[in-house]
Chains A and B, each alone.
Chain A
Amino acid sequence: MKLDIVISGVGGQGSVLASRVLASAGMGLGLDVRTSEVIGMAQREGSVTSQVRLGEKLYGATIPDHEADILLGFELAETVRAVPKLKPGGAIIASASAIVPVSVQLGISSYDQKAMQQYLREQPGRVVLLDLEELAKKAGHPKTGNVIILGALSTLPGLPFEPEQLLQAVLSYIPEKLQNTNKRAFEVGRQSMEVA
């Protein structure tokens, strides 16, 4: 059993928490676990990539290019940026919406949201693009995007953990007063995959 997951997003979106949750779910099954994070220089607004590896016996924490089984994208352009990490036919669950960087405002680079969505949809594996903002509203908290994506992930076939185990791993990182909100967010994520 070996599962490599790449999580890409922008600082402040909770991708680091998501990687901890996946690692802890793997540990709960007695698997070897490695994670690695590259966090941009600024605390906010920079690219953030986390890598999570679960398996029987692991070496490097860095997933080689074209090896990841699953790509979780918290931001559209960051998802596109991480596609080379994904193996042919790997699954993508990602936010369809954009966080437009300052470089676009300055005319240094461009951000074509439709083209990026199209590009992701053309990838050979299963691709689900979610309206995370709308789903977060449904969950009742704007900052639950990471848990919604984990909920969506839990519906994929071939995972080492049951959805309930992943949910428990999520809740172990969430303070008491936000437990219900995050249970809801996880469920909203699961439901989003039924329609997608």
Chain B
Amino acid sequence: MKELLSGNAAIARGAIESGVTVAAAYPGTPSTEILENLALYPGVYAEWSPNEKVAVEVGIGASLGGARTLVAMKHVGVNVAADPLMTFSYIGVNAGFVLVSADDPGMHSSQNEQDNRHYARFAKIPLLEPSDSQEAKDMVGLALDLSERFDTPVMLRTTTRVSHSQSLVEIQDPQPRKLKSYVKDIKKNLMLPTYARPRRVALEKSLAGLKEYSESSPVNRIEWRDRSLGVITSGISYQYVRDVLPDASVLKLGFTNPLPEQMIRSFAAGVQKLIVVEELEPFIEEQVRAMGLALAVKGFIPYTGELDPGILAAALVKAGIIHSTGGIAKAGYDLAESPAVPARPPVLCPGCSHRGVFYALRQLKLNVSGDIGCYTLGGLPPLEAMDSNICMGASIGVAHGIGKANPALDARTVAVIGDSTFLHSGITGLLDVVYNKGNATVIILDNRTTAMTGHQQHPGTGRTLAGDPAPAVDLEALVRALGVKRVRVIDPLNLAETEAAIKEELAAKEPSVIIADKPCALLTKAVQPAVRVDAQKCTGCRICTRIGCPAISIKDKLAQVDAAVCTGCNLCLQVCREGALVKGEEKHA
């Protein structure tokens, strides 16, 4: 039976069909739906871990404990998990282990566009790159088999277009699940210098075996067509090559670390011109060149951004490989100039509890070190109340560093971080502030969910991935336990209270934490009556538009509130100086 599945749903299905019984992840676009789908199947233990490092560690334990295991994360999550990963390759597995890295070329929803294929080489582990949903599903099973056969974790690397595109997938019955027995083997699993040195040697041996396997892997194949042009490609790029160069011979690589050198050499020998087509880094291209093979053109595809058939066709023309783009990206079709289309950047939702905090921060003209989440949008116009954003949890360390560099900045600097992000990797930063006697003021934007990725549970929500009740961490008690004495909880949609709290805590010569406590507006079903505009009082000053609420617009020089969009959070009332915005009235039955 065939089903239409996204790459992520196919990966979950592949895990089920291959007998995976333990899965762990931290949500992150474009990887999130893998665990969400996996959690729907009975008999699988699937968890949201507090961060990706913990997820990989849980996965290592599950593999040692005898269960086939899948761990998933977005590309930057692997940075967090890199520490266990780099040594996991030394100890190897008991039951099969697959790490799914979902990369985000084009940065649809990410802070960078790193190419995680380099991680597989760096950690010396096998790498699989699916190019559609069917391959994504099949490669999970292959990864687990290889993991057990070669005693190594395996990376399955997808990209946004593989994870979020849907294509037809043949569904099969799940294999029976077998739990392997736990084996105590300290020479293999206890990594300290004495035992790690021989494992380091064993790792190279295993890689040599993998290189041999690569030559005959069923996912590496040569498609002979016209031999005047040969293309080496992998992942989603394969599809673009087939769309743009339907007649070219193709070496399609599904297993890309280690590369099949002999296969590449014989393909190169069989074609007149050889090129490599890949998205982001020249990962394959550099290795092919290091083999001493001549490429007809090098580096002709942009290293930045997402590839698509149009970009590939244009690059091939520019490089002289083809003379016209053919059916793709018709050069002769000139579009009449369109009227200006307004930018539609993502904005904080109507009723978003973060809006009050960012408005207050803007009013106070503070230096704000930011973090990863919906609230990063507080750095965009009109609020523009964020100065920096690097990675999960960075806000607190950055604020502390600014204060240590220049104590005069202390009283003007705050860190803002979401609840899920704080639990992911903000706790250690705050510990540092306390320990090293910093003065940082930290605002935890506690909307009780992982909102950005689509409302996933976390250790503070009181629910697990499966929706079961769980202990919810008490943020206030947690930060007090770290040694923060000044802790207060505020309503972020009360502007006066928010501003006063920020001013007071900045003035204090010690670390302080403000918990801005309000559930995500998209999760709160109880919407208050929409705000009304008193046209007599409105002067058209536009101050209400500075909060960046999608419900507010100006029409005929007067404020206008879209009642269908307004959630009645009443933040705009507090901004209006004329009293022209009026609280909506409760409807009485």
Contact = CB atoms under 8 A, between A and B. Distances in A.
B329 A110 contact: no
Given A42-B349, A67-B327, A77-B341, A102 B336 contact: no
A58 to B, nearest CB: 8
A105 B553 contact: yes
A46 interface: yes
A10 B240 CA distance: 27
A36 B553 contact: no
B309 A27 contact: no
Interface stretch (A111-119, A157-165, A171-179, A183-191): A111-119
Nearest to A46: B346
B349 A60 contact: no
B339 interface: yes
B338 A80 contact: yes
A19 B207 CA distance: 43
Q: Is the interface of B mostly helix, strand, loop or mixed?
A: loop
B87 interface: no
B4 A27 contact: yes
A100 B548 CA distance: 13
Interface string A94-126: 000000111111101111100110110010000
B329 A64 contact: yes
Contacts of A32: 167-168
Interface in B377-416: 377, 381-382
B345 interface: yes
Interface stretch (B62-70, B158-166, B192-200, B223-231): B158-166
A59 B165 CA distance: 12
Nearest to A63: B309
A137 interface: no
A88 B344 contact: no
A146 interface: no
Contacts of A47: 344
Given A36-B165, A37-B164, A44-B550, A64 B310 contact: yes
A45 B554 contact: no
Contacts of B339: 80, 112, 115-116, 118-119
Interface residues of B, number: 55
A15 interface: no
A29 B342 CA distance: 39
B454 A60 contact: no
B345 A27 contact: no
Interface string A43-66: 111110000000000111110111
Contacts of B161: 36, 61-62
Nearest to A115: B339
Contacts of A100: 342, 553
A122 B329 CA distance: 21
Contacts of B186: none
A154 interface: no
B377 A42 contact: yes
B165 A34 contact: yes
Interface string A11-43: 000000000100110010000111111111111
Contact of A83 (B308, B328, B338, B345): B338
A103 B340 contact: no
Nearest to B520: A43
Contact of B346 (A42, A84, A110): A42
Which among A39, A64, A101 has the greatest number of chain B C-beta atoms within 10 A?
A: A64
A110 B548 CA distance: 16
Contacts of B374: 42
Those 5 A-B pairs whose CB atoms lie nearest each other, nearest first: A42-B346, A61-B165, A60-B239, A41-B346, A109-B342
Interface of A: 10, 20, 23-24, 27, 32-47, 58-62, 64-67, 77-78, 80-81, 83-84, 87-88, 100-106, 108-112, 115-116, 118-119, 122
15 contacts: A23-B166, A32-B167, A33-B167, A37-B164, A60-B236, A60-B243, A60-B309, A83-B335, A84-B335, A101-B344, A101-B550, A103-B343, A104-B553, A109-B341, A112-B339
Given A37-B164, A41-B346, 5 more contacts: A36-B164, A37-B165, A43-B522, A59-B243, A65-B310
